[in-house]
Amino acid sequence: MRNTVHVRPRPRPEIMAIDVYVPGKSRVAGVANAHKLSSNESALGPSPKAVEAFLRSAGELSLYPDGSAVALREAIGHRFGLETSRVICGNGSDELLALLAHAFLQPGDEGLYSEYGFLEYPISIRAAGGVPVAANEIDRTANVDAMLERISARTKIVYLANPNNPTGTYLPFSELKRLQAGLPLDSLFVIDAAYAEYVAQNDYAAGIELASTCENVVMTRTFSKIHGLASLRLGWAYAPEPIIDAVNRIRGPFNINGPALAAGVASLADSAHIERSLDHNRRWLPWLCEAIRDLGIGVTPSVTNFLLLDFDESGTTARKADAFLSSRGFILRAMSAYGLPNCLRMTVGDEGANTSVVAALTEFMSDRNG
Ligand SMILES: *Cc1c(COP(=O)(O)O)cnc(C)c1O
């Protein structure tokens, strides 16, 4: 025997401290055609032009895609008025969020995010050997003072989803600027604007201006939400060139597949479809919010395409509501992993899903009260 101790390959210890990200459920046993309201996907789906482009690209599956994503980066630059050299595409914005941590954190460095911030942030920070630090929120909203208080000499990355998932709340641009102004110059500020398109508030800005003018600011965006292309895994970031350069060195050389490149370009060109999706959301988000509040369920004010529902403190009612809705074919997202066991998150669905999920919730609440 070579060895008395059991030797096998072992991952870095910080990897084993990561809780695996649990995606929203896609199906429930015994229910056909469930309404999936668990992952904030687009109610209207992708642009038909994006689907056509995707299908056309099937003729080129044997060829490597353009590893520099030139056509897509140019389309993004054109659409948003950005320098193409400062745009980078990712296999979902998730990939970019993770690569930024890998590129800018050393073991033991701290990564800051807000209390109910997107769970990918602590995962990315830990995966890069960093230490996740969460700043308290007020009213389920990121708090700039609390974030600035948690800054230390070791803080090398700060993630803020604006608007945030799973809360649906946002910070006005003035607060983003105040946060940036308070950060050390060597802390990278990542503004994750996955839901930017949905926000109509005048005091909101996605972060293009900050990423254009500050050496330490990156804005990330996605095709997974308003563009309805979540399955293709496509996101992008706008950042100063030295940051783009660093991420380009560690990303996969062909991280975006050809069908995604083609569909992304076509989707950006179909602004009428994006408008339709926005109109749909502008109609149904307030309708759902009001109808659900009328049932005595708390709803956090949202500027996105989803709502955070609050049941009583114990978490028992949220669990029962989740089970009841599942049995009726409505898949919502349980929030225990976010430290919100009394909450469920619900995506704005199509008309049929919205009216029928409210009917099901009405039945659930009257059974409880009656
Ligand atoms: C959905 C979402 C994303 C997008 O992730 P992709 O990898 O681009 O699909 C990013 N950040 C937040 C906060 C999200 O909710």
pLDDT at 2: 61
- Residue having the nearest C-alpha atom to atom 14 of ligand 1: 194
Q: Which atom of ligand 1 is nearest to the CA of 40?
A: 1
Retrieve residue 346's tokens: 């619900």
| Residue-wise pLDDT tens digits, 45-78 | 999 999 999 999 999 999 999 999 999 999 999 9
> Are the C-beta atoms of 269 and 223 separated by less than 8 Å?
no
pLDDT at residue 31, rounded to an integer: 80
Tell me, what amino acid is at 88?
I
Q: Which two tokens stand for residue 125?
A: 């920070």
Q: Is the CB of 114 under 6 A from ligand 1?
A: no
How many residues in total does the chain contain?
370
Q: Measure the CA–CA gap between 280 and 42, rounded to whole angstroms.
A: 10
State the pLDDT at residue 347.
98
Nearest CA residue ID for atom 2, ligand 1: 194
Prior bond of 166 cis (ω within 30°):
yes
Delimit the CATH 3.40.640.10 region(s) of the chain: 49-269
DSSP state of 225: S
The CB of 124 under 6 Å from ligand 1? The reply is no
Residue extent(s) of CATH 3.90.1150.10 domains in the chain: 13-45+272-369
Question: Regarding beta strands 306-310 and 343-347, do their DSSP bridges make them parallel or antiparallel, or are they unpaired?
Answer: antiparallel
DSSP-derived 3-state class of residue 302: coil
Enter the tokens of residue 232: 């293709």
Cβ–ligand 1 contact at 161 (below 6 Å): yes
Q: Give the per-residue pLDDT at 328.
A: 95
Give the span between the Cα atoms of 41 and 347, in whole angstroms.
7
Residue 14: what residue type?
A: E
pLDDT at 28: 78
Write down the pLDDT at residue 141. Answer: 98
pLDDT along the chain (370 residues), means of 10: 78 88 78 91 98 98 98 98 98 98 97 97 96 98 98 98 98 98 98 98 98 98 98 98 98 98 98 98 98 98 98 92 96 95 98 98 87
Q: H or E stretch including 158? A: strand 155-161
The 3-state DSSP class for residue 109 equals coil
The DSSP string of 270-301 is -HHHHHHHHHHHHHHHHHHHHHHHTTT-EE--
**Looking at ligand 1, which residue's alpha carbon is closest to its atom 12?**
194
CA 358 to chain CA mean position, Å: 25
222 C-alpha to center of ligand 1: Å?
Answer: 6
pLDDT in tens, 270-288: 999 999 999 999 999 999 9
The CATH label, of 3.40.50.720, 3.40.50.300, 3.30.70.2190, 3.40.640.10, for the domain at 49-269 is: 3.40.640.10
Compute the distance between CA of residue 130 and CA of residue 107 in angstroms, rounded to an integer.
Answer: 5
What is the second-level CATH architecture of the domain 13-45+272-369? Alpha-Beta Complex (3.90)
Q: Which helix (H) or strand (E) holds 345?
A: strand 343-347
Distance 363 CA to ligand 1 centre (A): 32
pTM, to two decimals: 0.96
- Ligand 1 midpoint to CA 95 (Å): 10
